[in-house]
Amino acid sequence: MPYSVSSRMEDERLKGLLLAPDKREVLEELLYNYMRNLNRIQRWNHLSHLRFGADITRNGIDTDRILRKVFNQIDEFLEVEKVPEPTYYYDPDCLLKGAIFNLMNYSFRIPRKDRVHLILSASHEYTHHVQIAYKIQTEYYPIFSEGHARGVERHIAEEYLALEKNEAFLLPPLQRAVSDVKMTYIWFCAVNACEPRRSLLRSISPSDFSNQIFFDQYGEPRPHALGNALFMMNEEVSGKKIYPKAVKKKLVLK
């Protein structure tokens, strides 16, 4: 779908919410808390105990069954019914790029990775599928749609942590969250001419590279980062009910 004038106007409105002066302390507290959780999991002696699961290319792994369970979990979480069956396929060339949702034909491709990354990638892309099916966006609104999908993915990670007692599910969403909020915080401080707290910029995430490239090129964070930060801030105040409310078009982001 084209990134139209109305899409740009809506994204500018959401950016304005993030740039409000009262958001500085919110961003700092959010970044501090997520950094602390990420640092705990990334301790060298802890990473070796994370279980990401077998490579899904191996024979005998029923990936369709795994994905069907994820889709059902998201349907229940978002309180949706009769979602059309998604079209998805595995792409070995998708390993480095991650999962990709095709807005033109409402299909998504997912990388051939381990079980944890399969579940997380599919949950994000299936959320885009639900967004389109329920027409919560008639055009491409990247900040809203990516923030919503990031939040649902984070919820699924927490569900699997509770089900399987495996913190490997938390690592990728935490890495993205820290990088996204950090980049949003740097941008906020630059626009509002205030000095960021250096102690909040020390955490290193695999997402930093792509986020920094986009920032250097466009002078602002990626829509994924802005959307993730915005939904995380709203989730802190209103809880996870914001995600099904978004599908019902009853969510007012603040």
Structural domain spans, the chain: 5-247
Read off the DSSP letter of residue 114: B
pLDDT of residue 52: 86
Residues 245, 240: Cα–Cα separation, whole Å: 9
Q: For residue range 157-175, what is the model confidence (pLDDT) as tens digits? A: 999 999 999 999 999 999 9
pLDDT of residue 103: 53
Contact (CB, 8 A) for 38 and 98: no
Calculate mean pLDDT across residues 98-106. 56
Q: What is the mean pLDDT of the chain?
A: 87
Residues 122, 67: Cα–Cα separation, whole Å: 7
pLDDT band, residue 3 (cuts 50/70/90): very low
In one-letter notation, the amino acid at residue 237 is V
Instruction: Write the DSSP string, 137-204.
Output: -SS--HHHHHHHHHHHHHHHHHHHHHHH--GGGTHHHHHHHHHHHHHHHHHHHHHTT----GGGG---
Read off the DSSP letter of residue 20: S
Beta strand 100-102 with 87-91 is unpaired
Q: For residue range 132-161, what is the model confidence (pLDDT) as tens digits? A: 888 886 556 889 999 999 999 999 999 999
Q: What is the pTM of this model?
A: 0.90
Whether 104 has a pLDDT exceeding 60, the answer reads no
Q: For residue range 198-254, what is the model confidence (pLDDT) as tens digits? A: 999 998 898 999 999 999 999 999 999 999 999 999 999 999 999 999 999 899 999
Instruction: Write the DSSP string, 35-65.
Output: HHHHHHHT-HHHHTT-----BTTSTT--HHH
With a CB cutoff of 8 Å and minimum separation 6, the contacts of 157 are 120, 169, 170, 172, 173
Q: For residue range 111-131, what is the model confidence (pLDDT) as tens digits? A: 667 889 889 988 998 999 999
pLDDT of residue 10: 83
Calculate mean pLDDT across residues 83-102. 67
pLDDT of residue 77: 98
For residue 55, the cross-strand partners are: 114
Q: Checking phi first, is residue 98 left (phi over 0); if not, alpha (psi -120 to 50) or beta? A: left
Residues 245, 249: Cα–Cα separation, whole Å: 6
Calculate mean pLDDT across residues 73-78. 98
